[in-house]
Amino acid sequence: MRTRLILTGTAVFLTALVALVIGRHVTGAYMDEIFHVPQAMRYCEGNFSYYDTKLTTPPGLWVNGCVLFPPLTLLLSFSYLVSLVLMLPTSIATLIAGEFNPCSITLLRSTNLIFYAASIPLIAALLARPAGQSSTRNTLEAIVISLFPVSYFFSFLYYTDAGSTFFSLLALLLSSNDRHVASAATSLIAMSFRQTNVIWMLYSAATTIIRTLANKENPVTRGSLNTELTIRNLGSLVFLSIIHVGHLITVLWPYLLSLTFFGGFIVWNGGIVLGDKSNHVAQPHVVQMLYFVGFSTFFLIPTSKIQDRVKTFLTLLQNSLFSPVTALAIPLSMCAIAAIISRFTIEHPFLLADNRHYTFYIWKYMFRSSPYIRYALTPAYMFCLWFCWKHVASATSGMHAAILFACIALVLIPSPLLEFRYFIIPFMLLRLYARPSWKGLVAEFLLYVGVNAFTIWMFVMRPFEWTQEPGVLQRFMY
């Protein structure tokens, strides 16, 4: 326990130092903070009726900020005293002391640091789930996962991602421990940060159904629900659900109640999006799944035996020459991916309207560089799809993998904008199924630290100006 606390405390302390550096250089609200910070300040002042129509999310971020202000103020007071005792530079002590104002941007951003700190034991608990007991190894691995570049970067800005991720993962943990009332209530909190988190509540409910049915006395518990997904197994799942519908309702009622509340919100609001609906219209952006599996494969490389996966995939291709079914399936899969690219690629107006995002440069200099580059990536997409599927299915079951990827698709496909922030929770769930060696964990740590060092350095040290806004610093970010 002591070792785990020291490891977690060290990670949080170093992250707080990074936050101080960012706070010194980025003193004003930046990017989406220009909407979130004024809104939170209204809440801080007790004005809960105000709502900026440019915002699209419920008030979870701002309400949680109000709840966390008192402990944060105490923490800043303690930090100030420590800085004086340790004789840290006066500038640091002054910076800390100057942020006792509960409505300051630094204090608002610091609420995400609390979520970051709390996420480490949470992830460790999720990693310990199969064994039922935490360990120093799980804590170390959780710290590495907490450094996942996209989520780590937004821990330093007043965005919804840190809280959204924390409460979504907490709901999944509670559900896996059969604490369904608490899980459903936590899911509602997660939805107050981002509406699409309702999908992760459905994921919890779906996995609960499988666990519940597997515990019933039935032949399906002896294998078919825990093997690769087939029509027979899917049929068995539906059949057993019908047979045990009464028992399932007694287990799932908290999720059904939360889903009813969410449905009422949609009816009241006239849709899932609050505020600025015109720029957030759902479209069938199926290519998002291809972007996601490519993104995930890259970050999963250190924790997976990629050489073995590549060899297995190449062997599969070779064996297809002797198997009529596989020989037909592979070219059909390639054609399907190419058709998805042709039919469902969306170039959102925001994508090329803002050169502060890395996606601007990826799209402009990669996907727009040639009309054929998108299709040239088809074989890579096919490998990444297979890789991510095997990554989950080999660790759990085909049924569970199918449910997870269906939920990921429901989250990503309706969004017309390529936005790496939307990949955070889906990637975290994939990563939880990895069981890397120590060597792999070190490689993952080095990859994450390297990417974080680059993106934070670019954000802090390489600002630039737009000609139409002279004197206003712009910064690179995800």
278-294, pLDDT tens digit by residue?
A: 777 889 999 999 999 99
DSSP state of 149: H
Which is higher by pLDDT, 168 or 83?
168
Check residue 318 and give its pLDDT: 83
Q: Which of 127-131, 245-249, 261-265, 391-395 has the lowest mean pLDDT?
A: 127-131
Instruction: Give the model's confidence band at 70: pLDDT under 50 very low, under 70 low, under 90 confident, else very high.
Output: low
Cβ-Cβ contacts under 8 Å for 88 (sequence gap 6 or more): 82
Task: Tell me which residue of 358, 352, 369, 351 sits closest to 451, measured CA to CA.
Answer: 358
Identity at 464, one-letter amino acid code: F
**% of the chain surpassing 70 pLDDT:** 88
Check residue 426 and give its pLDDT: 98
For residues 227-248, give the mean pLDDT.
74
Phi/psi at 473 (nearest 5 deg)? -80, 130
Q: Which of 22-26, 38-42, 160-164, 220-224 has the lowest mean pLDDT?
A: 220-224
Q: How many other C-beta atoms lie within 10 A of the C-beta of residue 430?
A: 25
Is the pLDDT at 267 greater than 50? The verdict is yes
Contact 385/293 with Cβ under 8 angstroms?
Answer: yes
Phi/psi at 465 (nearest 5 deg)? -125, 145
CA distance 10 to 1: 14
pTM, two decimals, is 0.90
The model's pLDDT over 360-418, given as tens digits with 9 standing for 90+, comes to: 999 999 999 888 999 999 999 999 999 999 999 988 888 899 999 999 999 999 999 99
**Cα dihedral 10→12→18→21 (10° resolution):** -100
Check residue 2 and give its pLDDT: 86
Is the pLDDT at 424 greater than 50? The verdict is yes
Contact 80/96 with Cβ under 8 angstroms?
Answer: yes
Phi/psi at 314 (nearest 5 deg)? -65, -40
Angle separating helix axes 306-319 and 378-393, nearest 10 degrees:
110
Q: What H or E segment, with its residue span, contains residue 466?
A: strand 464-466
314's tokens: 């190449």
Check residue 458 and give its pLDDT: 98
Q: What H or E segment, with its residue span, contains residue 473?
A: strand 469-474
For residues 41-69, give the mean pLDDT.
85
Identity at 469, one-letter amino acid code: E
DSSP state of 172: H
- SS (HEC) of 303-347: HCCHHHHHHHHHHHHHHHHHCHHHHHHHHHHHHHHHHHHHHHCCC
Contact 292/408 with Cβ under 8 angstroms?
Answer: yes
Task: Tell me which residue of 126, 115, 201 sits closest to 158, measured CA to CA.
Answer: 115
Check residue 13 and give its pLDDT: 93
Is the pLDDT at 460 greater than 70? The verdict is yes
Instruction: Give the model's confidence band at 238: pLDDT under 50 very low, under 70 low, under 90 confident, else very high.
Output: confident
What would the DSSP string read from start to end of 84-130?
Answer: HHTT--HHHHHHHHTT-STTSHHHHHHHHHHHHHHHHHHHHHHHHTT
Check residue 48 and give its pLDDT: 86
For residues 145-168, give the mean pLDDT.
97
To the nearest whole number, what is the mean pLDDT of the chain?
A: 88
Is the pLDDT at 97 greater than 50? The verdict is no
Check residue 1 and give its pLDDT: 79
CA distance 316 to 390: 13
Instruction: Give the model's confidence band at 450: pLDDT under 50 very low, under 70 low, under 90 confident, else very high.
Output: very high
CA distance 122 to 128: 10
Q: Which of 78-82, 178-182, 465-469 has the lowest mean pLDDT?
A: 78-82
Q: CB burial class (10 A; 0-12, 13-18, 19+) of residue 209?
A: buried
Check residue 222 and give its pLDDT: 47
> What is the distance of C-alpha 222 from the center of its chain?
33
Task: Tell me which residue of 407, 392, 56, 32 sits closest to 197, measured CA to CA.
Answer: 407
Q: Where are the alpha helices (DSSP H) in 194-244?
A: 198-214, 231-243
Check residue 133 and give its pLDDT: 56
For residues 116-127, give the mean pLDDT.
96
Check residue 316 and give its pLDDT: 84
**Cα separations in angstroms, 366 against 309, 362, 377:** 26, 5, 11
269's tokens: 């609001």
Check residue 219 and give its pLDDT: 47
Phi/psi at 443 (nearest 5 deg)? -65, -40
Task: Tell me which residue of 471, 447, 437, 418 sits closest to 298, measured CA to CA.
Answer: 447
Q: Give the three-state DSSP class for 420.
A: helix
